[in-house]
């Protein structure tokens, strides 16, 4: 085991949680209304392979209505479909969600479907 005393002049690193945490959609927190949609681009290799899928994406919508973070939650989907879904969701825009009259970041789940005709 190695240990050492940290000098008092060193400031601890910020843990990234200094600001208010996003609230989850549900209960009294309504899902924001989408104002701008961008359809995902179906990856050519996935079309050629005949792959379809539904991707669940967790999105954090900022106080300005822009998606500030998005990540695919679906583990059984092909990574190219998941990335295409995330790329599209990151371009979506929403009306900001208000809590007590003030805009707040919200966390919500969205579903992106890829299907072939």
Residue 37 tokens, joined: 């949609």
- pLDDT tens digits for range 80-112: 999 999 999 999 999 999 988 889 999 999 999
- pLDDT tens digits for range 22-71: 888 888 788 899 999 999 999 999 999 999 999 999 999 999 999 999 99
CATH superfamily, domain at 32-114: TonB (3.30.2420.10)
CA–CA separation, 46 vs 103, rounded Å? 39
Domain locations in the chain as residue ranges: 32-114
Whether 16 has a pLDDT exceeding 80, the answer reads no
Considering the entire predicted model, what is its pTM? 0.79
Q: What is the pLDDT at residue 18?
A: 55
Q: What is the pLDDT at residue 116?
A: 94
Cβ contact 106:21 at 8 Å = no
Residue 82 phi/psi, 5-degree rounding, is: -60, -45
Q: Which residue has the higher pLDDT, 75 or 62?
A: 62
């Amino acid at each position: 085991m190695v240990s050492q005393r940290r000098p008092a002049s060193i400031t601890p690193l910020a843990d990234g949680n200094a600001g208010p945490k996003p609230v989850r959609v549900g209960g009294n927190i309504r899902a924001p209304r989408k104002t701008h949609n961008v359809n995902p681009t179906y990856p050519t290799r996935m079309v050629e392979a005949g792959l379809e899928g539904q991707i669940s994406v967790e999105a954090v919508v900022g106080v300005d209505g822009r998606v500030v973070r998005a990540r695919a939650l679906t583990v059984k989907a092909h990574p190219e479909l998941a990335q295409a879904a995330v790329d599209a969701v990151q371009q979506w825009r929403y009306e900001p969600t208000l809590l007590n009259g003030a805009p707040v970041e919200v966390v919500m789940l969205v579903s992106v479907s890829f299907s072939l005709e």
